[in-house]
Amino acid sequence: MNMDYLRQEINTWLDNYFENKGTYNKVIYDSMAYSVKVGGKRIRPTLMLYTYNMFKNDFNNILPIACALEMIHTYSLIHDDLPCMDNDDLRRGKPTNHKVFGEAIAVLAGDGLLNEAMSIMFNESLKGDKNVLEACSIISNAAGVEGMIGGQIVDIISEGKLIDKDQLYYMHKCKTGALIKSSIVAGAILGGASKGEINILDEFGEKLGLIFQIKDDILDVVGETEILGKNAKSDIENNKTTFVTQFGLDKCIEFCESLTKDAIDLLEKLSLNTNDLKDTTIFISRRNH
Amino acid sequence: MNMDYLRQEINTWLDNYFENKGTYNKVIYDSMAYSVKVGGKRIRPTLMLYTYNMFKNDFNNILPIACALEMIHTYSLIHDDLPCMDNDDLRRGKPTNHKVFGEAIAVLAGDGLLNEAMSIMFNESLKGDKNVLEACSIISNAAGVEGMIGGQIVDIISEGKLIDKDQLYYMHKCKTGALIKSSIVAGAILGGASKGEINILDEFGEKLGLIFQIKDDILDVVGETEILGKNAKSDIENNKTTFVTQFGLDKCIEFCESLTKDAIDLLEKLSLNTNDLKDTTIFISRRNH
């Protein structure tokens, strides 16, 4: 299925979600919608939909959960960009949320997106079967203190310090990897995958998360602000340990290539049409922003 | 059931929850636990347990959900206290989270508590029946942009402005009322209450939320910082519209009394032992902190 088509479906769902919402509290919706609509590659929901699509052909059924995942991702970006965190002015080529709405509203918009995502998932669980609930529980855990938030905290406390490889792996596995992996595993569970298939896709998701983060670290060094849509060299400026500072650029490019091969080999093990996931894996490892 | 006993059960569950947690991410647990353990009256979980207890006598079964509610309340306090929000240094007589851990960790500790609460609720829903899921969904909605966060945003954007009565009611109904009401309604659903009983308790919860907030506004004017454990007169200093600035102190005291009577009258309609909820209603309306 075409990635642009899926992205369009995701964007339409999100647009509808925020349309005509709010009374006295309207500004919170405006602020949440601003960051959600500013764009982005919609990689997480796309991965979930592609994975689900290998098992079932009614992906519209899980669109709310896929979009909840995008809301969680967006909330994390809004909070990461805050002055007390990475203090970034640019995100996806546009002013960051707090630059437009002020810090207080940005904090609440992040809270709102996280909370709204969870409410959507509870609501879908009420309508669905046990698989829906299990998938939502996995996403919630992946976003939490043993997942994305845990990675972010290690990122924050490590700034300006040299950290070892184990800590770097932990940080990246949690910060970016956990949510990416959960999008794949949740998509598989929602699709009714077998235990064996879930195990393979779990391993694939773990590798894909790592590919994504290594590529992010590479792009921070070799990318250009205009193409990235966020400030290049921000890791260097913030004195962060990254895969590139730890292993060097050449080694990272090599590592990214071999992980991509491993990830695709894993997909080959499945007796399913995995073309879309393969293409997305290559897209993630070769992207320039 | 004795309120101190319930509070002890809640505190023990929360203490156990945070014990020995974390590796590289340990500081997030320390920061979350700091604000959770700093005390507080545990009113929301107590209300849930008391309501549940009118129907069933195994309240330990819903202790995780009751404590998730307290985590949601605590996260909202951490974020409310941030410099970009109310900029408070004191909470429950102790330095606020960001004063101890810094702003970045405080933002993430709030995020972590909200996320953790949701993960606990998904987990309990996986173990429980449809009532558990429904109760958790209600709590999640009450915490969200049409509930607590919605109230907080109106509070923030109204600072220094004169707002009308409708807006003031909306703000308080959402900011404090929604979560308090949800603790009662969720407790009733978890206990297997009938539709009729839930409707009465819903109305009771709405009144109790209002009593809580009016009393809060009264205490901000007549209370002392040492007893309140937070800065008295902070509403005045922040130029906020409150029930007291809107209606005057005498009218508020009167309103608080008549609402308390109405709330207790509602409880009288139930063919249940409502003594604990009555006592808590009186406790909330007469508290000095």
Distance CA B117, CA B114 (A): 5
| Tally of domains within chain A | 1
Distance CA A27, CA B61 (A): 39
User: Which chain B residue has the Cα nearest residue A115?
Assistant: B144
> Would you place residue A230 in the very low, low, confident or very high pLDDT band (cuts 50, 70, 90)?
low
Mean pLDDT of chain B: 93
**Interchain CB distance below 8 Å, B104 and A156:** yes
Provide, as residue numbers in chain A, all residues whose Cβ is less than 8 Å from the Cβ of B144: 112, 115-116, 119
Provide, as residue numbers in chain A, all residues whose Cβ is less than 8 Å from the Cβ of B154: 24-25
Q: Nearest by CB to B84, from A107, A119, A171: name it.
A: A107
Provide, as residue numbers in chain A, all residues whose Cβ is less than 8 Å from the Cβ of B156: 104-105, 108
Q: Nearest by CB to A153, from B108, B126, B136: name it.
A: B108
Distances (CA, A) of B31 to A104, B23, B46, B78: 21, 14, 24, 10
**Interchain CB distance below 8 Å, B145 and A32:** yes
**Interchain CB distance below 8 Å, B114 and A112:** no
Contact A208, A281 (CB under 8 A): yes
Instruction: Mention every residue, 6+ apart, whose C-beta is less than 8 A from residue B207.
Output: B259, B262, B263, B266
**Interchain CB distance below 8 Å, A24 and B116:** no
Q: pLDDT (tens digit, 9 = 90+) per residue, A111-143? A: 999 999 999 999 999 999 999 999 999 999 999
What pLDDT does B92 receive?
82
> How many angstroms away from the CA of B273 is the closest CA of chain A?
31
Q: Give me the CATH number covering residue B279.
A: 1.10.600.10
Length of chain B: 289
Provide, as residue numbers in chain B, all residues whose Cβ is less than 8 Å from the Cβ of A136: 122
What count of other Cβ atoms lies within 10 Å of the Cβ of residue B115?
29
Q: Nearest by CB to A144, from B115, B143, B174: name it.
A: B115
What pLDDT does B91 receive?
87
> Would you place residue A161 in the very low, low, confident or very high pLDDT band (cuts 50, 70, 90)?
confident
> How many angstroms away from the CA of A163 is the closest CA of chain B?
11
Distance CA B181, CA B274 (A): 16
> Would you place residue A40 in the very low, low, confident or very high pLDDT band (cuts 50, 70, 90)?
confident
Write out the two tokens for B61.
């079964």
Provide, as residue numbers in chain A, all residues whose Cβ is less than 8 Å from the Cβ of B25: 145-146, 149-151, 153-154, 174
Counting Cα atoms < 13 Å in the Cβ hemisphere of A126 gives 15
> Would you place residue B229 in the very low, low, confident or very high pLDDT band (cuts 50, 70, 90)?
low
**Interchain CB distance below 8 Å, A115 and B111:** no
> Would you place residue B241 in the very low, low, confident or very high pLDDT band (cuts 50, 70, 90)?
confident
Q: pLDDT (tens digit, 9 = 90+) per residue, A276-286? A: 999 999 999 99
User: Which chain A residue has the Cα nearest residue B22?
Assistant: A146
Distance CA B160, CA B153 (A): 14
Contact A125, A133 (CB under 8 A): yes
What count of other Cβ atoms lies within 10 Å of the Cβ of residue A250?
9
Q: DSSP characters for B203-223?
A: HHHHHHHHHHHHHHHHHHHH-
Chain A with chain B: Cβ pairs closer than 8 A: 163
Q: How far, rounded to the nearest angstrom, does the alpha carbon of residue A205 sit from its chain's CA centroid?
A: 12
> Would you place residue B28 in the very low, low, confident or very high pLDDT band (cuts 50, 70, 90)?
very high
Least confident of A166-170, B42-46, B76-80, B118-122: A166-170
pLDDT over 90 at B238, yes or no:
no
Least confident of A44-53, B58-67, B220-229: B220-229
SS3 content of chain A, % helix, strand, coil (to 5): 75, 0, 25
**Interchain CB distance below 8 Å, B111 and A116:** no
**Interchain CB distance below 8 Å, B133 and A122:** yes
**Interchain CB distance below 8 Å, A25 and B150:** yes
Angle at A178 between CA A175 and CA A179, to 5 degrees: 95
> Would you place residue B142 in the very low, low, confident or very high pLDDT band (cuts 50, 70, 90)?
very high
Distance CA B91, CA B35 (A): 9
Write out the two tokens for B50.
């008391």
Contact A10, A37 (CB under 8 A): no
pLDDT over 80 at A220, yes or no:
yes
What pLDDT does A232 receive?
63
Task: Report the residue of A27, A149, A169 to disrupt the B interface, i.e. the one with the largest count of B CBs within 10 Å.
Answer: A149
Each residue of A118-157: b (16+ CB within 10 Å) or e?
A: bbbbbbbbeebeebbbbbbbbbbbbbbbbbbbbbbbbbbb
Task: Report the residue of B23, B25, B166 to disrupt the A interface, i.e. the one with the largest count of A CBs within 10 Å.
Answer: B25
User: Which chain A residue has the Cα nearest residue B31?
Assistant: A153
Least confident of A193-202, B32-41, B112-121, B232-241: B232-241
What pLDDT does B199 receive?
98
Q: Nearest by CB to B153, from A27, A130, A143: name it.
A: A27
**Interchain CB distance below 8 Å, A145 and B103:** no
According to DSSP, residue A98 is labeled H
What pLDDT does A9 receive?
96
Q: ipTM for the complex?
A: 0.95
Provide, as residue numbers in chain A, all residues whose Cβ is less than 8 Å from the Cβ of B99: none
Distance CA A78, CA A98 (A): 8
Q: Nearest by CB to B24, from A104, A133, A167: name it.
A: A167
What pLDDT does B228 receive?
58
What pLDDT does A221 receive?
87
| Cα torsion through B139, A32, B87, B177, rounded to 10 | -30
Write out the two tokens for B219.
């205490």
Distances (CA, A) of B192 to B51, B124, B131, B197: 11, 16, 7, 10
Distance CA A136, CA A68 (A): 10
Contact B68, B117 (CB under 8 A): yes
> Would you place residue B153 in the very low, low, confident or very high pLDDT band (cuts 50, 70, 90)?
very high
Each residue of B236-275: b (16+ CB within 10 Å) or e?
A: eebebbbbbbbbeeeebeebbeebbeebbebbeebebebe
Distances (CA, A) of A8 to A37, A183, A232, A274, B265: 12, 18, 28, 21, 54
% of chain B exceeding 70 in pLDDT: 95
pLDDT over 90 at B127, yes or no:
yes
Contact B137, B177 (CB under 8 A): no
% of chain B exceeding 90 in pLDDT: 81
> Would you place residue B227 in the very low, low, confident or very high pLDDT band (cuts 50, 70, 90)?
low
Contact B276, B204 (CB under 8 A): no
CA nearest A184: which of A47, A61, A58? A47
Distance CA A12, CA A18 (A): 10
Q: What is the mean pLDDT of residues B260-283?
A: 97
Provide, as residue numbers in chain B, all residues whose Cβ is less than 8 Å from the Cβ of A111: 75, 79, 110-111, 114, 149
Sign of the torsion angle spanned by Cα atoms B198, A64, B174, B76: positive
What pLDDT does B188 receive?
98
User: Which chain B residue has the Cα nearest residue A132?
Assistant: B126
Distances (CA, A) of B252 to B165, B186, B232, B280: 13, 29, 17, 20
Instruction: Mention every residue, 6+ apart, whose C-beta is less than 8 A from residue A75.
Output: A109, A110, A111, A112, A113, A114, A117, B111
Phi, psi of B251 (to 5 degrees): -60, -40
Write out the two tokens for A259.
């992980």
pLDDT over 90 at B10, yes or no:
yes
User: Which chain B residue has the Cα nearest residue A82?
Assistant: B104
Q: pLDDT (tens digit, 9 = 90+) per residue, B170-216? A: 999 999 999 999 999 999 999 999 999 999 999 999 999 999 999 99
What pLDDT does B40 receive?
85
Distance CA A120, CA A173 (A): 26
Contact A48, A22 (CB under 8 A): no
Write out the two tokens for B249.
């102190």
Q: Nearest by CB to A149, from B102, B111, B121: name it.
A: B111
Q: What is the mean pLDDT of residues A84-96?
A: 91
What pLDDT does A134 receive?
98
Distance CA A150, CA B280 (A): 38
Provide, as residue numbers in chain B, all residues whose Cβ is less than 8 Å from the Cβ of A152: 108
Least confident of A177-181, A221-225, B270-274: A221-225
Task: Report the residue of B145, B146, B173 to disrupt the A interface, i.e. the one with the largest count of A CBs within 10 Å.
Answer: B145
* Paired residues of A94 in beta bridges: A91
> Would you place residue B220 in the very low, low, confident or very high pLDDT band (cuts 50, 70, 90)?
confident
> How many angstroms away from the CA of A164 is the closest CA of chain B?
11
Distance CA A65, CA A190 (A): 10
Distance CA A110, CA A241 (A): 26
Q: Which domain holds residue B221?
A: 3-286
Least confident of A178-182, A215-219, A241-245, B225-229: B225-229
Distance CA B49, CA B54 (A): 9
Task: Report the residue of A35, A86, A108 to disrupt the B interface, i.e. the one with the largest count of B CBs within 10 Å.
Answer: A108
Kind of pairing, strands B90-91 and B94-95?
antiparallel
> Would you place residue A229 in the very low, low, confident or very high pLDDT band (cuts 50, 70, 90)?
low
